[in-house]
Amino acid sequence: MDFAAGEILLVDKPLGWTSFDVVNKMRYEIKRKLKVKKIKVGHAGTLDPLADGLLILCTGKKTKEIDNYMGMPKMYSGTITLGATTPSYDLETQIDATFSLDGLTEEMIYAEAKKMEGDVLQNPPIFSAKKIDGNKAYDLARAGKDVVLQAKLVQIQEFKIVSIELPLVHFEITCSKGTYIRSIAHDFGKNLGNGGHLSSLRREAIGDFKLTDAKTVDAWISEINLLDIDNIQVI
């Protein structure tokens, strides 16, 4: 491996870690192994701490290609819990309202998922890293400030219902860059008239890069430690 010339590392981000946690850990391990003070490491698309799955890391000169990978479509699997909403649209915040699921049928759920495919004007969650006058929206939301974010056009290429175990709806979604799956979960429940929030999320693919080809952070650290640094070019 030539980390300075550039490597692409596919990482299975653990639940509870931020994307920057992974970047910082991998950068530290690479610097320690190579005995250098600096090495460029960046990620190609944030995953929330409450989501796990595929994270693309680029090192060295490959960091210049990050925008190319960020623009690729993403595929996720996850679970929406119907009948309850949260301010963050996921499990980061407590349930703020509950709704009856009486009258809700599987046919309605399948039909609504199909209706949501295509170009969608999506409102990002107020508990997001979007910036307002230099401040992150989630910082303002946590401080109790009013947060208004501009809607953004995104594309939901496929919204597939995998199985239904009410109140849980298991899904797979393929979507464009910048799509918030939390917002999809919220809008899905709202459109059904029963409310909903995202209760689990796993990124399965970014373009042609698959989670099945990724390694855990620990597995990558073990591989880095086994490298023969005499055969690694250090710039």
DSSP secondary structure letters along 108-120 = HHHHHHHHT-EEE
Annotated catalytic residue, options 2, 21, 48, 90: 48
Residue 3 lies in a domain: no
Angle between helices 217-225 and 19-34 (to 10 degrees): 10
Biggest CA–CA distance in the chain, Å, is 67
Question: Is the pLDDT confidence value at 234 over 50?
Answer: no
Q: Are 198 and 89 in contact (CB under 8 A)?
A: yes
Specify whether 48 is catalytic.
Answer: yes
Percent of the chain with pLDDT over 70: 87
Do 59 and 134 lie in one domain? The reply is: no
Do 102 and 201 lie in one domain? The reply is: yes
Q: pLDDT tens, 184-193?
A: 999 999 999 9
Q: How far apart are CA 1 and CA 162, in angstroms?
A: 39
Torsion (CA) 69, 186, 156, 21 in degrees, nearest 10:
10
Of residues 176, 170, 178, the one with CA closest to residue 202 = 170
Do 53 and 127 lie in one domain? The reply is: no
Structure tokens that stand for 185 in this block: 């979960």
Q: pLDDT tens, 2-28?
A: 888 899 999 999 999 999 999 999 999
The whole-number pLDDT of residue 9 equals 96
Model confidence at 128, pLDDT cuts 50, 70, 90, reads low
- CATH number for the domain that contains residue 185: 3.30.2350.10
> Total structural domains in the chain?
2
Percent of the chain with pLDDT over 90: 74
Question: Is the pLDDT confidence value at 145 over 80?
Answer: no
Model confidence at 232, pLDDT cuts 50, 70, 90, reads low
Do 160 and 185 lie in one domain? The reply is: yes
Mean pLDDT of 18-46: 93
Q: Are 166 and 101 in contact (CB under 8 A)?
A: yes
Do 199 and 223 lie in one domain? The reply is: no
Block residue for tokens 């550039």: 6
Do 41 and 132 lie in one domain? The reply is: no
Do 218 and 202 lie in one domain? The reply is: no
Q: How far apart are CA 152 and CA 144, in angstroms?
A: 24
Question: Is the pLDDT confidence value at 101 over 90?
Answer: yes
